[in-house]
A = this chain, B = another copy of it.
């Protein structure tokens, strides 16, 4: 049977990354390719108990259909946490709980994009966001970045010369894939530029709480005076991703539309998942749990950086993130990251080839390396193997 699919489907290909991840899942391979939180830190016993008690306590309500906006007490907790921990004052009414923050990316595209509209993003940017927007047939414009984050002057230039820019998608804190965190100065200038053009912003912040060194910078949302910034949050990195729980905290007019979109998309987020997170926070200290995560990942970050400094050949560059799950390795000019990847697989180590993270301008120089989900000995051995693979390509 030949089906006549919508024209958007021509752009939606099976993700190459997904295929590569299958390759890297072979047990003999040390894989830095994933982006998984460390499962040994999941509060398993606590969640078992909390689930049991919650279902017994309010099962008839918990297991029933619920409101699209989300569990009221969880929305309040998120608002409080954003206000206190992120210094980003939000009211519960302006929060929608979503089926992971990935769902917010789909909704952002659905809300704003007609075919041919322009989406702006950092170069490089999160592949899952690019794929979500891609379904709505936009044109992508990449804004250049450096070690301090996005370059606001470049954004200004693009906005001055590009019609139909509908929104910009950014990850200012420990970006996926590079691990870079925008400086305060960049944040301020960025806000000036978006204010000048009234450009809506989706600020994706899955990693902000996972800071291992230094002080946090203000969220873009907290600096927003015009109702331009929507903040996307998730429980996946600070609690666990198997419960699909994210949220948008945005201007009321945008959240209201997201609610309407969500009603058609999946009615509401799992009421069970929402209840478990809510009850966990009633009973246990989420901040204390996050501290444990930060301690472990911070250690792994230090170890991988130290090993890379010792092992990787001269000319190879890599970011030194102060938080998050990823760092970004750039091989010397003239060396192909794709060839390095092939050599890595031969050496039984893997990372993600960087070009997937550029919607337009493919480079063949970089790889994304995840360090959150691996014991010390494998980190050391994996980096050694990677060093060997890179040397063979140089």
As a 0/1 sequence over residues 228 to 254 of chain A, the CB contacts with chain B under 8 angstroms (1 = contact) are 100000001000111110000001011
Contact A244 B267 (CB under 8 A): yes
* A276 contacts the other chain (CB 8 A): yes
Beta-carbon contact of B106 and A264 below 8 Å:
yes
In the assembly, what is the distance between CA of A65 and CA of B241, in Å?
5
Q: Contact: B110 with A135, CB < 8 Å?
A: yes
**Which residue from B48, B240, B270 sits with its C-beta under 8 Å from A99?**
B270
Query: What residues of B have a CB within 8 angstroms of the CB of A251 in the complex?
Result: 1
A363 at the B interface (CB under 8 A): no
Confirm or deny: A263 has a beta carbon within 8 angstroms of a beta carbon on chain B.
yes
Does A263 lie within 8 Å of B47, measured CB to CB? no
Q: Measured between alpha carbons, how far is A36 from B45 in the docked complex, in Å?
A: 33
Chain A interface category by residue count: 35 or more
Q: How far is the CA of A5 from the CA of B114 in the complex (A)?
A: 9
Given contacts A1-B226, A266-B244, A270-B270, contact A60 B42 (CB under 8 A): yes
Q: Which of A48, A264, A269, A272 has the most CB of B within 10 A?
A: A264
Q: B1, A253: Cβ atoms under 8 Å?
A: yes
Given the complex, which residues of B lie within 8 Å of A112, measured CB to CB? Answer: 3-6
Least CB distance from A284 to B in Å reads 14
Stretch in A12-20, A295-303, A304-312, A385-393 with 4+ CB within 8 Å of B: A12-20
A392 shortest CB reach to chain B, Å? 32
Specify which chain B residues have a CB less than 8 angstroms from the CB of A102 in the assembled complex.
264-267
CA of A44 to CA of B260, assembled, Å: 30
* One of A51-59, A183-191, A319-327, A343-351 at the interface: A51-59
Q: How many protomers of this protein does the assembly include?
A: 2
Given contacts A7-B114, A14-B260, A226-B1, contact A267 B128 (CB under 8 A): yes
Contact status A166-B4, CB under 8 Å: yes
Cβ B63 vs Cβ A56 within 8 A: no
Check A264 against B135 for contact (C-beta < 8 Å). Answer: yes
**A59 smallest CB distance to B (angstroms):** 3
A49 interface residue (CB < 8 Å to B): yes
- Contact (Cβ within 8 A) A59 B36: no
Which residue on chain B has the smallest CB distance to residue A62?
B242
> Is there contact, CB below 8 Å, between A6 and B110?
yes
The interface residues of chain B lying within 8 Å CB-to-CB of A117 are 6
A92-124 vs B, Cβ < 8 Å mask (1 yes, 0 no): 000000111011011000111110010000000
Say yes or no: is A257 at the interface (Cβ < 8 Å to chain B). yes
20 chain-A/chain-B pairs, Cβ below 8 angstroms: A1-B251, A5-B112, A6-B113, A12-B260, A12-B264, A36-B65, A37-B64, A39-B64, A48-B55, A48-B59, A65-B241, A98-B266, A103-B265, A110-B135, A128-B267, A134-B264, A135-B261, A242-B272, A244-B267, A244-B269
A residues adjacent to B (C-beta < 8 A): 1-9, 12-15, 18, 36-37, 39-40, 42, 44-45, 47-49, 51-53, 55-56, 59-66, 98-100, 102-103, 105-106, 110-114, 117, 128, 131-132, 134-136, 166, 198, 200, 226-228, 236, 240-244, 251, 253-254, 257, 260-261, 263-273, 276
